[in-house]
Structure formats: structure tokens, C-alpha cells
Amino acid sequence: MKLKEILDPGSCSTNLEAKNKRDAVTAMAELLAVNPAAGGASVDEIVQGLLEREKLGSTGVGGGVAIPHCRMDSMNGFALALGVCRKGVGWNSIDGRSVHIICAIAGPGDATDEHLRILAGAARVLGKGNARHEILSSDTTFAMREAFLYHLVPVTSRLEEGRRDKRKLVILVLQEEETYDRVMELFLEGGIEGSVTINASMMGTVLSSVPLFAGFMDVLGRSRPEPRVVLTLLPEDRVDEMVSEIEGITGELDTHRGACIIVSDPLIIRGSLETL
């Protein structure tokens, strides 16, 4: 399923009227309820579902964005709504900022994997500053929806078994926490079914503890104390696409410090990296 298939034009608003978080959630529930996937779910039921999820932790992800979401047995499928609150609304966001862009998601209770991929896709789009700017600058719901979809990385379904025979081992070394988080979102969104993360140490960190090399940290680099090494297996025909998407997060790898990608041909692959 792709986000463009569940973002109904009628579920977009460029000017939400909301004085507080509950008002905003209610407005988003009204937008979700017009989606055919809502089935028999009422606005009140969707409001309740979204607010129950908020009790687990704020969905204000920072940057003026909130992504409230819930799972409901009465949903026929997934619905997504996109709204802009010009005056902003308090949301207990992780960065303390008011929320101006709200992306609400509701889906069936038994579709956890798909829900996670859709959630990751929305987070990736709204994590881009230029995407947020274009959405906030949109004068019509059509323009706002098009701006969102333009920046969208396709949400793919699970990998087909027939594509698993020619796989590459992809090794990532990521020194920045934010970069690691965004790459994990990309993997989830792209349907990558498993990866392994290893906490590591950069050379500068190790040598700085050796008395002989004390005082040379500026030369060796002030690296993140615990960079991440990520191992995953990708179908051969998806490697170029994934490397390109990762460079969209890190910047061009040939000129950007703090990240590295290594792709190799495993001699033998037995088993899986999927979570038990």
C-alpha cells in the first residue's frame, strides 16, 4: 500500500481551526472519517482512539509536526489525513514547539506491520524541512496534498520470496544519532524485514584512552562515542535505490563525514535477519 492511495483529497485541510490539542484531534478525526476506509467508525470513536494513543506518549515529533495515529477494529483499511493549523497548537512536542502540521493515521487493529510502514513514511516526509515549507505555503488542499506526495518515498509491501535469492550484504557505519534514526525509518518504510545494529567505537575514541596519544583528539576527530554499525540484506535490484535514499539523508557520501556504506557479495546466506 502507498500513502498516495490512502490520502484522500477530501481528508486535507489548509486551515484547521483549533484552540487546543483536543480541538485539533477532533478536526483531524473529522477528516479521517470521510475516507471510505473509515467504514463505520464515527468521529467520536476516532477521537477516542487518537487520544488513547496520546496517553502512551506525545505524537508531537518536533519541527512543528504531530502524527497522531491509532488502530481500530472498525476500520476497513487505512486512512490518512493532513491538516495545517496556521496559529499553531500546543502538543507537548519533544522540542516544546507548537504544532502547525498534523498528519493523522487510522487503520485496522490487526495490520501492525503496515501501520508501522505508513507511520514511518509519513515521519520521513514531514522530517524534511523543504516538505514542511511547501505544505505550509500551500494555498489549496490540492497543492498541499501534491507537496506531501512529491516528497514521498514509496511505502512498499513485504519483499517477495522470489527476490531473495540474489541478495547483497549492506554494511552502514553511522556516527550521528539523528541519521541512524532516519535510516531506521527508511528501512521500516521500505519493507526491509530485518537488520542488526552493533554499537561500536571510532578509532579516535579508542586511541584517546591511550596515554601516548592523549591530546590528539582534534586530529583524530571528535566522533560520536558509540557509532552504529548496521548490517542488512537487500535484493540486488534494490541496492542502488536504497543507497540513493540513504544519501538523501546523509548528504553525498563521497564528501560527507560521519557515514559510510559498504556493499558486498556474501558467499553463503543461510537464515534470516528478521526479528523473532
Concatenate the DSSP letters of all residues of 53-108 into one string.
HHTTS--EEETTEE--EEE-TT-SS-EEEEEEEEEEE----TT-PPEEEEEEEEE-
Per the CB < 8 A criterion, the answer to whether 45 and 74 are in contact is yes
Residue type, 6: I
- Residue 133 a catalytic site member: no
Which of the residues 69, 115, 133, 151 is marked catalytic? 69
Instruction: HSE, CB side, 13 Å, CA atoms: give it for residue 188.
Output: 20
Could you give the CA distance from residue 24 to residue 89 in angstroms, rounded to a whole number?
A: 8
Residue 62 phi/psi, 5-degree rounding, is 100, 165
Residue 137 near residue 153 (C-beta atoms within 8 A): no
Distance of alpha carbon 45 from the chain centroid:
26
219 sits in the region (left: phi over 0; alpha: psi -120 to 50; else beta) called alpha
Contact 141, 12 (CB under 8 A): yes
Q: Which residues carry out catalysis?
A: 69
